[in-house]
Amino acid sequence: MTSLDRFLLTDRVAIVTGAGRGLGFEIARGFCDAGAHVVITGRNSETLAQACAELKANGGSADYTAFDIADRKASADALKDILATHGGIDILVNNVGARDRRSLDAFTDDEIATFMETDLLAAISLSRDVARSMKASGYGRLIFLTSILGTVALPGDNLYPVAKMGLTGLTRALAVEYGPYGITSNAIAPGMFATETNAHLATDAQMLEFTKMRVPLQRWGRPEEIAGAALFLASEAGSFVNGQTLTVDGGHSIRM
């Protein structure tokens, strides 16, 4: 195996949650380009179908399944179907993450519970269930999308950093628990990326000034720039990396 071959994912099966668009889609595209079969998930069947068609049009091997990650039964049923179809799962990317910018006083207890179910608890359950199949093969990669906002708090954005720090803790805990089975657990903490959701901000004059002041590379990240980090952690090239968080933010988090 050459050094470049170590970045390939030939014959690997990967699940990427929340991959109908944005960073999840770019990670799925990167995995397809590296030779993996990728199952993309999300709530919107139409969005997933379009994304899957694009992956296939570019020569990738992919399929999709639509379900709400916060619905435990739907998630378990989807996983059962994926395992029945593919026989095993080698890579899981927990990418789903909702955002709700409000003061804490504005949230009810039920709303807090729902938010945490989507952004944190679902990833715990899905990782546990997928890891059971990984144990049988002695190989696995668990990857979590956190955020640089897991360590930096903003006014009116209270629950998001709590969930992201929870994922960071989960990453480290599972690295210890599943490491003896040949399963690594790592996280990626993105900074400011110009995805479909916030592309308008990347071209806003005030935001551009802020970016030049705070991000050493003086720009927003391009969505496709997340794929390399995920590919490294998913491949043999990152086989001895475990329990770590790789920050991909153009240097934003190191500048005051």
Provide the pLDDT for residue 255.
Answer: 85
Question: Count of domains in the chain?
Answer: 1
Rounded to 5 degrees, φ, ψ at 77 are -65, -40
66-93: pLDDT as tens digits:
999 999 999 999 999 999 999 999 999 9
Active-site amino acid positions: 160
Q: Which of 62, 255, 234, 256 is nearest to 246 (CA)?
A: 234
For the entire predicted model, the pTM comes to 0.96
Is 90 exceeded by the pLDDT of residue 199? Answer: no
Q: How confident is the model at residue 155 (pLDDT cuts 50, 70, 90)?
A: confident
Residue 143 CB coordination number (10 Å): 25
* Distance separating alpha carbons of residues 82 and 183, to the nearest angstrom: 19
Is 80 exceeded by the pLDDT of residue 28? Answer: yes
Q: The CATH number of the domain where 237 resides is what?
A: 3.40.50.720
Q: How confident is the model at residue 196 (pLDDT cuts 50, 70, 90)?
A: confident
Provide the pLDDT for residue 198.
Answer: 84
Structural domain boundaries enclosing 146: 5-254
Q: How confident is the model at residue 256 (pLDDT cuts 50, 70, 90)?
A: low
